[in-house]
């Protein structure tokens, strides 16, 4: 079986858990006799291709996909929607706008036809433009390669998956690692929501990383439950060496590691930390990461008067992440909405007792992490305090947690995903 897979990032160049998950999954698929062609916007050349073939979208020209440009646009049948939306149009005005936009896109596409696009592969201000261009290139790549099924990861690649499906007639599986409701709460970006919903509707099968996410897909996006299948993530510890660190502080260390943004619940971690410090001064707190709430978090720590016990490291990657876990006595993931959450698995593998929110997908597969509601800062503080004060509790959590995560393997997840591929392929027979 051969898969054309669309992703936005791949180690060592990652911004979060998505790239890490893609890496582990592709290795697991290779062990299940599945060949993967992995398309990313901008490859650097230093990606591990032992289990996957990387296709750099920046190296692919858009040409020979159809007889002409208009034929290509008609087959793909999606319009780019600009950021300047125009509401309250009557049917006649809307039809005129659509025709004008189709003509404009056709002319723009003629200019770029047979040219290569240099993607940044980042999450910057031109993200929507890159998403649409990636879809165009994705269609060209699909026409130039042989494969059995298409697999698209998260909303950034859904249009590319749709393009590949419509141009080749091959089945499409999309993988929902997070939704706009996870990222933004109820204040969703309507354009992102529409792209997500379009991808889910066009897909033959939808894979979600947890039942929590599956329920969102069904209830918030209106997707048929029969085509939504949960496959929990895993964690890859291959090639990981034990790290010994020389601790220069005598206090215990409690760590938050992730994007400092609404979804990850950094504010609740800070409030719980303040409560712990009222009872135990022999502890330091570390917030490792970056994000839009970083400055506000720093100001809140200063206002609470705990800056001398609180450290902000900035974004960590690779070996630095492992070192941070090695320094830690407790790891906390207080996410407001976490489709899965791989970082607790990494912490538990390092023998670090872990606290997670009940609002996380990983809570569905872990028995030896302490679970609290993200908003219950009293319960969170109590759990931190207990793991610091009662050695028997922390030792059991560390020992049993390590055994538990060792059983969560990507090979097993890949076996289930291969079965989903086969279900999608059988729909076309």
Residues of the chain with pLDDT > 70, as a percent, come to 83
* Average pLDDT score over the chain: 85
Residue 394 has a CB neighbour count (10 Å cut-off) of 19
Q: Judge contact between 150 and 4, C-beta under 8 A.
A: yes
Please classify residue 179 by burial: count the beta carbons closer than 10 Å to its beta carbon, then call 0-12 exposed, 13-18 middle and 19+ buried: buried
Mean pLDDT of 118-146: 78
pLDDT tens track for 160-174 = 999 899 889 999 999
Does the structure show a pLDDT above 60 at 64? no
Which residue do the tokens 């208009």 mark?
A: 70
pLDDT tens track for 314-356 = 988 778 888 899 899 999 999 998 888 888 998 998 899 999 9
pLDDT at residue number 238: 64
pLDDT at residue number 94: 53
Fold annotation for 252-406: Rossmann fold (3.40.50)
Which residue do the tokens 């950094």 mark?
A: 266
pLDDT at residue number 190: 86
Half-sphere exposure of 154 (CA within 13 A, CB side): 20
Mean pLDDT of 277-306: 95
pLDDT tens track for 165-198 = 988 999 999 999 989 888 877 788 888 898 899 9
Does the structure show a pLDDT above 90 at 248? no
Angle at 383 between CA 354 and CA 240, to 5 degrees: 10
Give the residue, 137 or 385, on which the prediction is more confident.
385
Sequence ranges of the chain with CATH classification 3.40.50.2000: 2-234+411-426, 252-406
Q: Judge contact between 42 and 421, C-beta under 8 A.
A: no
Highest mean pLDDT among 67-81, 152-166, 215-229, 337-351: 215-229
Beta strands in 266-419 (DSSP E): 283-288, 310-314, 330-333, 354-357, 370-372
Instruction: Provide the CA 424 distance to its chain's centre, in angstroms.
Output: 23
Does the structure show a pLDDT above 50 at 284? yes
> 346: closest CA among 335, 354, 338?
354
Give the residue, 154 or 229, on which the prediction is more confident.
229
Mean pLDDT of 267-290: 95
Task: Kindly report whether the peptide bond that precedes residue 12 is cis, defined as omega within 30 degrees of 0.
Answer: yes
Position 240 confidence tier, pLDDT thresholds 50, 70, 90: low
Q: Based on C-alpha coordinates, what's the Rg of the chain?
A: 23
pLDDT at residue number 83: 41
Position 86 confidence tier, pLDDT thresholds 50, 70, 90: very low
pLDDT at residue number 87: 43
Q: Judge contact between 259 and 368, C-beta under 8 A.
A: no
Does the structure show a pLDDT above 80 at 119? no
pLDDT at residue number 186: 73
Does the structure show a pLDDT above 70 at 227? yes
Mean pLDDT of 46-60: 84
Does the structure show a pLDDT above 50 at 122? yes
Residues of the chain with pLDDT > 90, as a percent, come to 52
pLDDT at residue number 182: 85
Domain spanning 2-234+411-426: CATH superfamily: Glycogen Phosphorylase B; (3.40.50.2000)
pLDDT at residue number 95: 59
Position 113 confidence tier, pLDDT thresholds 50, 70, 90: low
pLDDT at residue number 420: 97
pLDDT at residue number 354: 96
Half-sphere exposure of 304 (CA within 13 A, CB side): 22
Does the structure show a pLDDT above 50 at 88? no
Does the structure show a pLDDT above 90 at 389? yes
Backbone phi, psi, residue 108, to 5°: -65, -40
Q: Judge contact between 212 and 178, C-beta under 8 A.
A: no
The lowest-confidence range among 122-131, 209-218, 374-383, 397-406 is: 122-131
Give the residue, 213 or 110, on which the prediction is more confident.
213
Structure tokens at 225: 């439950």
d(CA 181, CA 123): 18
Does the structure show a pLDDT above 50 at 80? no
Structure tokens at 71: 């034929």
Give the residue, 225 or 131, on which the prediction is more confident.
225
Q: Judge contact between 372 and 260, C-beta under 8 A.
A: no
Give the residue, 247 or 242, on which the prediction is more confident.
247
Please classify residue 92 by burial: count the beta carbons closer than 10 Å to its beta carbon, then call 0-12 exposed, 13-18 middle and 19+ buried: exposed
| pTM of the predicted protein model | 0.79
Mean pLDDT of 230-252: 78
């Amino acid at each position: 079986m051969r898969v054309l897979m669309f992703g936005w990032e791949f180690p060592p160049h990652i911004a979060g858990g998505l790239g890490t998950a893609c890496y582990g999954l592709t290795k697991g698929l290779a062990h299940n006799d599945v060949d993967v062609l992995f398309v990313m916007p901008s490859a650097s050349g230093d990606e591990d291709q032992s289990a996957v073939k990387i296709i750099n979208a920046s190296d692919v020209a858009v040409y020979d996909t159809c007889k002409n440009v208009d034929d290509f646009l008609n087959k793909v049948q999606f319009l780019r929607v600009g950021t300047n939306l125009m509401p309250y149009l009557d049917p006649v005005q809307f039809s005129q706008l659509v025709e004008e936009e189709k003509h404009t896109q056709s002319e723009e596409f003629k200019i770029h036809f047979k040219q290569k696009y240099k993607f940044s592969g980042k999450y910057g201000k031109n993200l929507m433009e890159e998403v649409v261009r990636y879809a165009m290139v994705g269609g060209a790549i699909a026409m130039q390669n042989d494969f059995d099924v298409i697999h698209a990861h998260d909303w950034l690649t859904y249009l590319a998956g749709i393009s590949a499906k419509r141009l080749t007639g091959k089945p499409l599986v999309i993988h929902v690692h997070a939704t706009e409701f996870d990222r933004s709460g109820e204040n969703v970006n309507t354009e992102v929501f529409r792209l997500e919903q379009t991808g889910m509707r066009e897909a033959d099968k939808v894979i979600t990383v947890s039942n929590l996410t599956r329920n969102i897909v069904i209830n918030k996006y209106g997707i048929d439950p029969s085509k939504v299948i949960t496959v929990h993530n895993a964690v890859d510890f291959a090639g990981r060496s034990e790290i010994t660190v020389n601790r220069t502080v005598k206090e215990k260390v409690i760590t938050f590691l992730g994007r400092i943004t609404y979804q990850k619940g950094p504010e609740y971690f800070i409030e719980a930390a303040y409560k712990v410090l009222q009872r135990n001064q022999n502890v330091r707190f570390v917030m490792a990461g970056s994000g839009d709430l970083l400055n506000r978090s720093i100001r809140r720590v200063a206002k609470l008067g705990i800056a001398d016990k609180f450290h902000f490291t900035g974004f960590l990657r690779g070996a630095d992440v492992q070192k941070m876990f090695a320094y830690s006595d407790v790891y906390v993931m207080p996410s407001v909405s976490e489709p899965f959450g791989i970082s607790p698995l990494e912490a538990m593998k390092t023998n670090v007792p872990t606290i997670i929110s009940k609002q996380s997908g990983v809570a569905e597969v872990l028995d030896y992490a302490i679970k609290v509601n993200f908003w219950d800062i009293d319960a969170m503080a109590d759990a931190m305090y207990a793991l610091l004060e009662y050695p028997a509790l922390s030792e059991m959590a560390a020992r049993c947690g390590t055994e538990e995560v060792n059983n969560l393997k990507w090979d097993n997840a890949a076996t289930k995903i291969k079965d989903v591929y086969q279900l999608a392929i059988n729909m076309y027979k």
